[in-house]
């Protein structure tokens, strides 16, 4: 007896199987691979008149960590920071979402410590939406050797002037005290969580050599390389460098995820900035 012929594969069946396979691979990438695959990006920031003592001064930015506990991604982050050896680390909001994560926040800051390194932080919308008491947040940062900035500015021992605001998306920002009597310095840095504020700063505001924001997650899920959506408070910003009324700005893709625990064509980012003369 002749054996039965194998079933024929139609073009439609082949395409359906290929599509299902692509969806499966995309889902595996988005939920299992990319959220844990840290990318370090490096950027030179040219500052006119920068003194030789600050030439090469390095700043690392963490944003939108959405931390609940220390995991493999954060261990990779610690290793990357120690390798880069920045003089300053800034955390630009949405680092935790709930009061229960305050202990993990302190552990995160301790993992970022280094000899002579300063760690500064601002608030994001999720610290407010999660009803994390600001005084407890401040204490958790301090236990980890970091300083939380509100609507204020400070000067580092090296002379770098850092201004920061509370979160624009949740309405807690106030640029007036942040920028009032802003001192001169060899370089100026502006920190704010939601980048939409960068287009809302009043005309005539001081110029900065670099402004840093997050909030957008870079779109987080970007099929075909395009962002489907960004959260309120993002304005025209998605990710990367921009020119704004306060000066050149960079919007980081951030570290963690929000709402959907996935990233697609949008890896977690640790941007590193080096101040250079001229």
Residues 167, 173 contacting (CB under 8 angstroms)? yes
CA atoms within 13 A on the CB side of 32: 6
Residues 146, 109 contacting (CB under 8 angstroms)? yes
pTM (2 decimals)?
0.90
Report pLDDT for 226.
82
Report pLDDT for 232.
97
| Residue closest to 165 by CA, chosen among 108, 233, 230 | 233
Neighbours of 82 (CB within 10 A): 14
DSSP class of 201: S
CA-to-CA separations, 278 to 48, 75, 171, in angstroms, rounded: 4, 35, 36
Residues 98, 59 contacting (CB under 8 angstroms)? no
Rounded CA gap, 187 and 48, in Å? Answer: 9
Rounded CA gap, 28 and 152, in Å? Answer: 43
Per-residue pLDDT of 248-268, as tens digits, reads 999 999 999 999 999 999 999
Checking if the pLDDT of 3 tops 80, the result is no
Domains of the chain: 11-277 (3.60.21)
Take residue 4 and report the two structure tokens written for it. Answer: 């039965």
**At 138, is the secondary structure helix, strand, or coil?**
helix
| Residue closest to 238 by CA, chosen among 277, 266, 275, 276 | 266
Q: Which one is predicted more confidently, 12 or 109?
A: 109
């Amino acid at each position: 007896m002749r054996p039965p012929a194998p079933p024929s594969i139609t073009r439609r069946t082949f395409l359906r199987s290929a599509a299902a396979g692509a969806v499966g691979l995309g889902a595996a990438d988005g939920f299992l691979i990319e959220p844990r695959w840290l990318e370090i990006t490096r950027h030179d920031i040219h500052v006119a008149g920068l003194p030789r003592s600050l030439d090469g001064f390095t700043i690392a930015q963490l944003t939108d960590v959405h931390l609940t506990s220390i995991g493999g991604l954060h261990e990779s982050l610690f290793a990357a920071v120690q390798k880069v050896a920045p003089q300053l680390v800034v955390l630009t909001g949405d680092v935790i979402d709930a009061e229960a994560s305050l202990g993990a926040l302190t552990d995160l800051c301790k993992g970022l410590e280094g000899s002579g390194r300063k760690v500064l932080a601002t608030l994001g919308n999720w610290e407010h939406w999660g009803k994390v008491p600001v005084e407890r947040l401040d204490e958790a940062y301090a236990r980890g050797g970091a300083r939380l900035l509100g609507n204020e500015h400070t000067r580092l021992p090296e002379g770098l002037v850092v201004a920061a605001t509370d979160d624009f998306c949740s309405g807690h920002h106030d640029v007036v005290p942040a920028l009032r009597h802003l001192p001169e310095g060899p370089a100026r840095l502006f920190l704010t969580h939601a980048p939409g504020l960068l287009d809302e700063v009043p005309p005539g505001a001081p110029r900065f050599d670099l402004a840093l924001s997050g909030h957008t997650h870079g779109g987080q899920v970007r099929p075909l390389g395009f962002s489907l959506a960004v959260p309120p408070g993002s304005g025209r910003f998605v990710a990367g460098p921009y020119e704004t009324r306060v000066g050149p700005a960079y919007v980081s893709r951030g570290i963690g995820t929000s709402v959907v625990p996935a990233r697609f064509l949008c890896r977690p980012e640790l941007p590193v900035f080096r101040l250079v003369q001229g």
